[in-house]
Structure 1
Amino acid sequence: MDIIRIDDPGDSRIAAYRDIRERDLVGRQGRFIAEGKVVLDVLLDSIRFRSESILLLENRLPGLSRILSKASPGLPVYVASGPVINGITGFHMHRGILAIGRRAEETTADRLLRSLPERALVVVLVGIANHDNVGAIFRNAAAFQANAVLLDRTCCDPLYRKAIRVSVGAALKVPFATFDTETTLATNLDSHGFSRLAFSPRGTEDLRHIRRTDRLALYFGSEGEGLPTELLATMKTARIPIAGDFDSLNVAATSAIALHHFTVGDL
């Protein structure tokens, strides 16, 4: 790696980091922003994603020697003072650790499903556009060893800066793919031997009474609206019992309970 001092927020070498609160690199030449020590560690360990450069607050450099030792030769590591970094990013960067990563070649849901082991658990997200929820669900997927996450085109990209940060780097660990239509995905899941289970407050079966199949896909929908009624009608549905005078759980909390239920014996 190459340590490079930056003294001017307008330096062209760090242009990709500029004003990241107002814009995100997702969709720009396959780049994304990784933020924080844990996420940087995951990125530098990743096989699927590679780092393009790192930007650090100068006082963070000494404490990152172990992590930075994994950086590839010649990787630019830009170092700057607090005021300069704040001028670059457009806000107070108290974490002081940023990196630019490049996404791997996008795979298809069918190809990803084909690569999974005989016993596999898949998370399917429909209409979840909130960065915090997507990041938290990826964190739960990693914690409970889900094999993949599949997202429809209306979901938040897991590589948004905030989604990666909330996931604590899990969005860089758990394989994922997007799909175009629920019908196509259902066909793919069926062809690869997956049973499907959708979660809804209106679910017909109590989660506590549902047993795991070897290949299982768990469906989760957006806050408020949840999964579309027509989609729920195509598969078994589950509910998590809660107090009768309360409406529902947050979707991230729901995913944590569901994933724990189906993986506790495998951990």
Structure 2
Amino acid sequence: MRERDLVGRQGRFIVEGEVTLRLLFSGGARFRAESVLLAPERWPGLAPFLRDDDLPVYLAGKDVMSAVTGFPIHRGVLAVGLRGADPAPDALIPPAPAPALVLGLVGLTNHDNVGGLFRNAAAFGADAVLLDAETCDPLYRKAIRVSAGAALTVPFARAPSGTALIDLAERHGLTPLALTPGGAETLEALEPPPRALLLLGTEGPGLPESVMARARRIRIAMAPGFDSLNVATAGAIALHRLAAERLAGI
């Protein structure tokens, strides 16, 4: 079964590993487990929070599990999750005048980058991640794994386009910040706005001009002759800067 059919049409997703499984069970009402598949030696440590009469838990040797999954990278812990209803993007924005930090992803189709950005969003306390229609689903197995489970804990929703994300920012009093090597302002000189939407585009083409034209263009200063960072790395640097005040209070 192709994963895009599982995630996109059936509303299911796969989680692997103990840490991610525990996060699935702590993810609130949006996500829940449909079934769990364990190597027998993993049962004793996980049994205390898997004792739900309505939850099927299957045990199988690792040779059987590898035959099921196709490759031995699951560490003996797999589960099928159900995604539940997707929230509306507007519902995830803290109401003004409260501080807000939202991450907007436009055209990102690499699962590693999306997973890494969710991990960064969780690490720096972003309130939500908003994705346009072209960005890959953060509930793909690899994206969940790379996010260290943050895709199950950071609120996210999908908007039709990058332009729709700008419209949302205007409705909620968020300052849209477009991260681009050609930005007029440097990140280190930026006074972080109390309510911000940080916009990131795919590597190479970057953000569409129609999006950047309605945002403040911000760049990360780099050594002469080089202006490129992996988008997840750039996102981490920018999120850390924008979250500086809230992080100082922790």
In 2: Cα distance, 1:94 partner to 1:179 partner:
32
- Measured at CA, do residues 116 and 91 of structure 1 come closer, stay the same or move farther in structure 2, by a change above 3 Å? farther
| Mean Cα deviation higher: 115-124 or 157-166 | 115-124
Larger Rg: 1
Is 1:33 the counterpart of 2:17 in the alignment? no
Is 1:57 the counterpart of 2:39 in the alignment? yes
Deviations 1:92-148 (A, max 9, x none): 245111111111211221232266881110000000000000000000000000000
Could you tell me whether the CA contact under 8 Å between 1:127 and 1:154 is conserved in 2? Answer: yes
In 1: Cα distance, 2:107 partner to 2:96 partner:
24
Could you tell me whether the CA contact under 8 Å between 1:56 and 1:77 is conserved in 2? Answer: yes
For these two proteins, the number of residue pairs brought into alignment is 245
- Measured at CA, do residues 173 and 38 of structure 1 come closer, stay the same or move farther in structure 2, by a change above 3 Å? same
User: 1:168: which partner in 2?
Assistant: 148
In 2: Cα distance, 1:220 partner to 1:132 partner:
15
Tell me the TM-score normalized by structure 2.
0.92
User: 2:49: which partner in 1?
Assistant: 69
- Identical columns (%): 51
Deviations 1:130-179 (A, max 9, x none): 00000000000000000000000000101001000100110011111111
Any stretches of 5+ residues in structure 1 without a counterpart?
1-18
User: 1:263: which partner in 2?
Assistant: 243
Aligned alpha-carbon RMSD (Å): 1.8
| Mean Cα deviation higher: 249-258 or 173-182 | 173-182
In 2: Cα distance, 1:36 partner to 1:28 partner:
24
In 2: Cα distance, 1:157 partner to 1:113 partner:
20
User: 1:124: which partner in 2?
Assistant: 104
User: 1:85: which partner in 2?
Assistant: 65
Deviation at 1:232, TM superposition (A): 1.4
Secondary structure, in 3 states, of the residue corresponding to 1:245? coil
- Measured at CA, do residues 77 and 70 of structure 1 come closer, stay the same or move farther in structure 2, by a change above 3 Å? closer
Deviation at 1:33, TM superposition (A): 0.6
Could you tell me whether the CA contact under 8 Å between 1:123 and 1:141 is conserved in 2? Answer: yes
Secondary structure, in 3 states, of the residue corresponding to 2:75? coil
- Measured at CA, do residues 265 and 115 of structure 1 come closer, stay the same or move farther in structure 2, by a change above 3 Å? closer
The partner residue of 2:76 within 89, 96, 109 is 96
In 2: Cα distance, 1:126 partner to 1:134 partner:
11
In 2: Cα distance, 1:117 partner to 1:75 partner:
42
Secondary structure, in 3 states, of the residue corresponding to 2:87? coil
Secondary structure, in 3 states, of the residue corresponding to 1:98? strand
Could you tell me whether the CA contact under 8 Å between 1:33 and 1:100 is conserved in 2? Answer: yes
Is 1:245 the counterpart of 2:225 in the alignment? yes
In 2: Cα distance, 1:149 partner to 1:157 partner:
12
In 2: Cα distance, 1:123 partner to 1:143 partner:
13
Could you tell me whether the CA contact under 8 Å between 2:106 and 2:200 is conserved in 1? Answer: yes
| Mean Cα deviation higher: 166-175 or 177-186 | 177-186
Secondary structure, in 3 states, of the residue corresponding to 2:157? strand
- Measured at CA, do residues 261 and 88 of structure 1 come closer, stay the same or move farther in structure 2, by a change above 3 Å? same
In 1: Cα distance, 2:154 partner to 2:109 partner:
18
User: 1:134: which partner in 2?
Assistant: 114
Deviation at 1:181, TM superposition (A): 2.7
In 2: Cα distance, 1:74 partner to 1:101 partner:
14
In 2: Cα distance, 1:179 partner to 1:34 partner:
25
Tell me the TM-score normalized by structure 1.
0.86
In 1: Cα distance, 2:163 partner to 2:73 partner:
44
Following TM superposition, the consecutive aligned residue runs of length 4 or more in structure 1 with deviations greater than 4 angstroms are 114-117
Residue type of the partner of 1:57? A
